[in-house]
Amino acid sequence: MKQNNHTILKISWRNIWRNRLRSSIIILAVTVGIFGGLVSTGIMKGMVMGLINNSLENQTSHIQIHNKQFVENNEVGFLMTQTDKLLTDISRDPEVKSACERTKTFGMASTASKAAGVMVNGIDPEKEKTVTGIWKKLIKDKGTYFESNKRNRIVISEKLAKKLNAKIKSKIVITFQDYDGNLTGASFKVEGIYRTQNSMFDGQNVFVRKTDLDKLLDMPPHTAHEIAILLKNYQHTETEVTHIKKIVPDYLVQGWPEIDPYLQVSASMVDFMLYIFMLIILIALGFAIVNTMLMVILERTKELGMIMAIGMNKFKVFKMIFYETTLLAIIGTFVGIVISAVFTLYFGRHGIDISIVGQGFEALGYSTVMKPYLELADYFQVLAMVIITGLIASIFPTIRALKMKPVEAIRD
Amino acid sequence: MKVIEIKNLHKIYHDTEVEVKAVNGVNLEFEEGEFSAIVGPSGSGKTTLLNVIGGLDAPSSGSVIIDGTDIGTLSSREMIDFRLHNIGFVFQAYNLIPVLTARENAEFIMQLQKKSRAERDARIAELFTAIGIQGKEDIRPNRLSGGQQQRVAVARALASKPKFILADEPTANLDSKSTTNLLDIMRKLNEEENVTFIFSTHDQRVIDRAKRVIVLDDGKVTKDTKTEQ
């Protein structure tokens, strides 16, 4: 059986190279198709992964805990209490890398000339550093990340600084409702200016010390509106949500896919796109392969008639044509995968700058430096799809071949 | 020993309005070790008769019994298997697989029969010596002469140790020297190894070397002569 297979495979392989030009054209077509499909998917996937990473790193983290009513109404009064104890309990979980608490309130930021609505995030700068990466996004020579110990310092985005006409050391007055519902406010001095790749986030978020904000809001001690958790492995989000729910049964525990379903949908969508892209490409290539194989069958009528006459059964004839068809597709796929992998690895590291044409991307949270990203599984999926295409594409030529009567084929 | 028994064989083709009786009531028997030529003008039914004997074409009526098996009762799958183990074919146009070497062509049929490597090696060595093309084992057909290709085709037909060889106009594409060489080889195999050969031919050189000459005309056997050779 093995021996038979080896011989049939050998014949199929050598048959491919009988007409080098024709086979090369088909292989090239498959290579270009696979490269096109994989690279476009890689670029889309890279952009979405960038979006997810940016969002998780700067904004969402992996898990957030809130008072359920705060999520619904965003009112300062809906607090979580004994957050110091909660943070200690959560930090004991071996899957948790770090956690921090935040006070959050909507407010109006204004300078002498301009005003804008903002989300004021009261943070513990040192703890926040272990969970989010805003401190890494500070623009060079544009201040520091709460290095000064002075009160009422604020870190704002470059976008907001432009909007408010503010610079380092500018004063920004922020007004908001306190814990009791009274309108209050304070003047903050700009200490640092940051820029993430998500301009929507940048336009809305400012950062102040939690101690300063708590005092202004008149918050009770050991309270917060939000606890953000960074896990050691983001793929364990779902199981950790279940686990943390047991630690804090009174509060709402949400993983990042629930907090930002758009991220989850984008990730699933891009995987789905890989299938759609490859399916369209492979259908087109499948037709080209079928056409080539039909020509091959026509050219080899006599030869096929002879091998059937001397005793090669239909299944072996099918195998021979299937191997030839699939090998044609697999050679092209292999070359396509290698080129795509090199492209993806190189540009995944160095990035493709599309800032000239892609400024609108930033407004949607995407980076203007595209870094294609493909997983090993993506390559295997494509390979499996190609083998299935080979199988399907070989059916029609095989039917044509098997319909031949050896006696007529030999006479031709 | 009787190898082939043909009883009242008819093969009729229905060509639009005309009915063509390619084989018309043939009764023949072939013994083991025969070296027979079926001769006759073009359209006399030689090739059709050979195709029906070889199970490549089904008879309209009558029967072909090979070594006790009525091949008309076999399913198409059984027929393929039967051909593989019992019948060797030599075609006019050699019909070697161009992507295989001479050796691979000859041993291909043994691989289909699932013969072991050792068995194949021994048989190929034996056959290539018998047909006189030692040293050409690793050459592909396009680099062999017509005569050499037909000798490889004979080796392929013999490789499976069939009960008999059907050769349809095997010398039609060969020059005089190659024809003589090929006939010498086939006669030698016939005499020394008792291989049964049945040819369809109009080549006088083949007819001259045959031990039995069957003349076919309009699908009927008109003469069946055994020579003294």
Beta-carbon count within 10 A of A239 CB: 12
- Kindly give, in sequence order, each residue whose CB lies less than 8 Å from that of residue B224, ignoring residues fewer than 6 positions away: B28, B212, B213, B214, B215
Domain boundaries of chain B, sorted by first residue: 2-226
Confidence label for B172 from pLDDT (cuts 50, 70 and 90): confident
- Indicate yes or no: CB of B84 within 8 angstroms of CB of A307: no
pLDDT digits (tens, 9 = 90+) for B20-41: 899 999 999 999 999 999 999 9
Q: What are the tens digits of pLDDT across the range B52-96?
A: 999 999 999 999 999 999 999 999 889 999 999 999 999 888 889
In B, which residues are within 8 Å of A4 by CB distance?
111-112, 114
Cβ B95–A14 below 8 Å, yes or no? no
| pLDDT tens-digit map of B105-129 | 999 999 999 999 999 999 999 888 8
pLDDT tens digits, one per residue of A36-45? 989 988 888 8
* Residue A223 pLDDT: 94
Do A180 and A297 belong to one domain?
A: no
Give the per-residue pLDDT at B103.
Answer: 94
For residue B99, what is the nearest residue in chain A, using CA coordinates?
Answer: A14
A170 and A287 belong to one structural domain: no
Report CA-CA distances (Å) from A120 to A102, A110, A185: 10, 13, 12
Q: Are residues A283 and A379 in the same domain?
A: yes
A241 and A303 both lie in a single domain: no
CA-nearest residue to B48 within chain A is A407
Same domain, A47 and A74: no
pLDDT of residue B43: 87
This complex has an ipTM of 0.86
Q: Is residue B198 over pLDDT 90? A: yes
Instruction: Tell me the two tokens of residue A15.
Output: 């048959």
Residue among B89, B95, B99 whose CB faces A11 most closely: B99
Q: Which residues of A touch B (CB under 8 A)?
A: 1, 3-4, 7, 10-11, 14-15, 18, 302-303, 306-314, 316, 405-407, 410
Q: Are residues A205 and A274 in the same domain?
A: no
pLDDT lower than 70: segments of chain A:
1-3, 357-365, 367, 412
Q: What pLDDT sits at residue A172?
A: 94
The model's pLDDT over B129-161, given as tens digits with 9 standing for 90+, comes to 888 888 889 999 999 998 899 889 989 998 888
> What residues of chain A lie within 8 A of the CB of B111, using their CB?
3-4, 7
Domain annotation covers residue A204? yes
Question: Which pLDDT does position B34 carry in this prediction?
Answer: 93
pLDDT at position B66: 94
Interface size, chain A vs chain B, as Cβ–Cβ contacts under 8 Å: 67
CB < 8 Å to A3, chain B: 111, 114, 117
pTM: 0.74
Q: How far is B177 from chain A (nearest CA, A)?
A: 26
pLDDT above 90 (res B1): no
For residues A240 and A271, state if they share a domain. Answer: no
- Do the domain assignments include residue A113? yes
Do A8 and A91 lie in a common domain?
Answer: no
What string of DSSP letters covers chain B? -EEEEEEEEEEEEEETTEEEEEEEEEEEEEETT-EEEEE-STTSSHHHHHHHHTTSS--SEEEEEETTEEGGGS-HHHHHHHHHHHEEEE-TT----TTS-HHHHHHHHHHHTT--HHHHHHHHHHHHHHTT-TT-TT--GGGS-HHHHHHHHHHHHHHT--SEEEEESTTTT--HHHHHHHHHHHHHHHHHH---EEEEE--HHHHHH-SEEEEEETTEEEEEEE---
- Number of structural domains in chain A: 2
Are A393 and A269 contained in the same domain? yes
CATH of B2-226, one of 3.30.930.10, 3.40.630.30, 3.30.70.2190, 3.40.50.300: 3.40.50.300
Query: Chain B partners of A317 at a C-beta cutoff of 8 Å?
Result: none
In chain A, what residues touch B90 (CB-CB under 8 Å)?
A: none
Query: What is d(CA A72, CA A81) in angstroms, rounded to the nearest whole number?
Result: 18
Range of the domain at A133: 68-250
CB contact under 8 A, B111 and A313: no
| Domain end call among A193, A227, A250 | A250
- Are residues A175 and A233 both part of a single domain? yes
* Chain B positions in Cβ-Cβ contact with residue A313 (cut-off 8 Å): 77, 80-81
Looking at the structure, do residues A50 and A87 belong to the same domain, yes or no?
no
Strands B87-90 and B164-168, by their bridges, are parallel
A39 domain residue, yes or no: yes
pLDDT of residue A412: 62
In a domain, A280, yes or no: yes
Question: Looking at the structure, do residues A203 and A296 belong to the same domain, yes or no?
Answer: no
Q: What is the mean pLDDT of residues B164-171?
A: 91
Optimal mutation site among B111, B117, B121, B150, interface A, most CBs of chain A within 10 A: B111
State the pLDDT at residue A196: 85
Instruction: Evaluate whether residue A195 is within a structural domain.
Output: yes
Closest Cβ opposite residue A15 in set B85, B99, B104? B99
Helix (H, G, I), strand (E, B) or coil at A124: coil
Answer with the one of A250, A274, A291 that is the final residue of a domain.
Answer: A250
For residue A348, being part of any structural domain is answered with: yes
